[in-house]
Amino acid sequence: MPIIVNLDVMMAKRKMSLNELSEKVDLTLSNLSILKTGKAKAVRFSTLEAICKVLDCQPGDILEFRDE
């Protein structure tokens, strides 16, 4: 898939665990894990906004397009 999810990179830069992010974003651990591993088929803008607020980043820091 040409869309790469760099959520794990941003979490590492902010020294934040998946559990901590899950609590702050109010998203289940399993749904956040699916997004983190790149297995998600879609992401809501409200979810992306909440993640960006908590991680203090831009959507482009989390999502990347790579033409295969």
Q: Residue 27's closest CA among 6, 2, 49?
A: 49
Q: What is the mean pLDDT of residues 5-28?
A: 96
CATH 1.10.260.40 assigned to domain 3-65? The reply is yes
What's the confidence (pLDDT) of residue 47?
96
Residue 41 is classified by DSSP as S
Q: What is the mean pLDDT of the chain?
A: 94
Q: In this predicted model, which residue has the larger pLDDT, 67 or 46?
A: 46
Calculate Rg over the CA atoms of the chain: 11
Is a pLDDT exceeding 70 seen at residue 1? no
Q: How many CB atoms lie within 10 A of CB 21?
A: 21
Tally of CB atoms within 10 A around 41 = 6
Q: Is the pLDDT confidence value at 44 over 80? A: yes
Percent helix / strand / coil, the chain, rounded to 5: 55, 10, 35
